[in-house]
Amino acid sequence: MKTRIALFLTLMIISASCFSSDKSQHDDYKTFKRVYLGFSVTPAASYRYLHGNFVPAGISQADVQGTIGYSNQHSFPEFGVNATFKVGINLTHWLAIESGVGYSLIRYGFQSDQYFTPDIWNGIHTNGTDSFKTVDKENYQYFTVPVGLRFSIGHRKVRGVIAAGAELDFLVKQKAVYTYTNANGQVQNGVNIQEPHNFNTFNVSPYLGVGIDCHLSRVVVLRIMPQAQIQALKNINTPITEYLWNAGLNISLLFGI
């Protein structure tokens, strides 16, 4: 019991010391500049959510669901990235509106054994074998315009922050990179670049992040914030459609002007 009391008192003393130290700097960090610019990078795990869109003639609903299940079993997430130039306006000490322009790369992969008869498949010479294994990595590149609100919690040097809004996504390029292995173990690579109009060239991705703002000075803030987002609109109008999503760690450096 005495040990627990001593530990509790020690923690209280440390907390009080930190509070006093932080409070002495309270006036230095309580007010950030009204307008700020910055840059953020979000390395993220990315993937897709599949959904039955419609059932074509000659195909049953069970077939569509079976294909979704098979695809989910053989698909895997990949790493992507989001990079954004930011601009923000502090409306109050706890609320700001943020926007900017950026680039987003969303990726996922698919691996399976398939069977075919053509000598050429997706531009890859198959040497006429009947069985082969493929690894397909889908890459989506977007020009992005995020628009959202930032809620700040606290007045100290390190503050809680919540960011919520939507990212406007404009598709620039869709590319699939294939690795083909035939029955003899020979490996070939291929690239299939899709025309953007085959996909939804515009999408909206609501996002939510919760993290901290570290006020390094009255004009410099470092933000560290886990963040996730998912597309609200169909990515492609086929019997099975997809919604791309990613989740990662947003790191921003902001400068008051």
CATH of the domain at 86: 2.40.160.20
pLDDT in tens, 128-182: 555 567 888 999 999 999 999 999 998 888 999 999 999 999 999 999 888 877 7
Provide the 8-state DSSP code for 234. Answer: -
Pair of tokens at residue 149: 């609100």
Phi/psi at 203 (5° precision): -145, 165
Angstrom CA distances, 168 to 60, 86, 155, 247, stand at: 35, 14, 31, 17
Provide the 8-state DSSP code for 164. Answer: E
Provide the 8-state DSSP code for 66. Answer: H
Are 35 and 88 in contact by the 8 Å Cβ rule? The answer is yes
Q: Cα separation of 96 and 152, whole Å?
A: 8
Question: pTM above 0.75?
Answer: yes
Pair of tokens at residue 162: 């919540």
Are 79 and 113 in contact by the 8 Å Cβ rule? The answer is no
pLDDT in tens, 66-111: 889 988 998 999 999 999 999 999 999 899 999 999 999 999 999 8
Domain count, the chain: 1
Are 39 and 251 in contact by the 8 Å Cβ rule? The answer is no
CB contact set of 116 (below 8 Å; sequence gap of 6+)? 126, 130, 132
Q: Domain for residue 134, yes or no?
A: yes
Q: Domain for residue 7, yes or no?
A: no
> Nearest Cα to 231, choosing from 195, 206, 254?
206
Q: Domain for residue 198, yes or no?
A: yes
Are 222 and 238 in contact by the 8 Å Cβ rule? The answer is no
Q: Domain for residue 215, yes or no?
A: yes
Are 203 and 233 in contact by the 8 Å Cβ rule? The answer is yes
Q: Domain for residue 186, yes or no?
A: yes
pLDDT on residue 126: 53
Least confident of 24-33, 46-55, 144-153: 24-33
Q: Cα separation of 71 and 22, whole Å?
A: 53
Q: Domain for residue 145, yes or no?
A: yes
- Burial (CB < 10 A; 0-12, 13-18, 19+), residue 108, is buried
Residue given tokens 């390395």 in the structure block: 43
Are 214 and 224 in contact by the 8 Å Cβ rule? The answer is yes
Are 191 and 175 in contact by the 8 Å Cβ rule? The answer is yes
Give the pLDDT band of residue 27 (cuts 50, 70, 90).
very low
Domain limits for position 110: 31-256
Q: Domain for residue 18, yes or no?
A: no
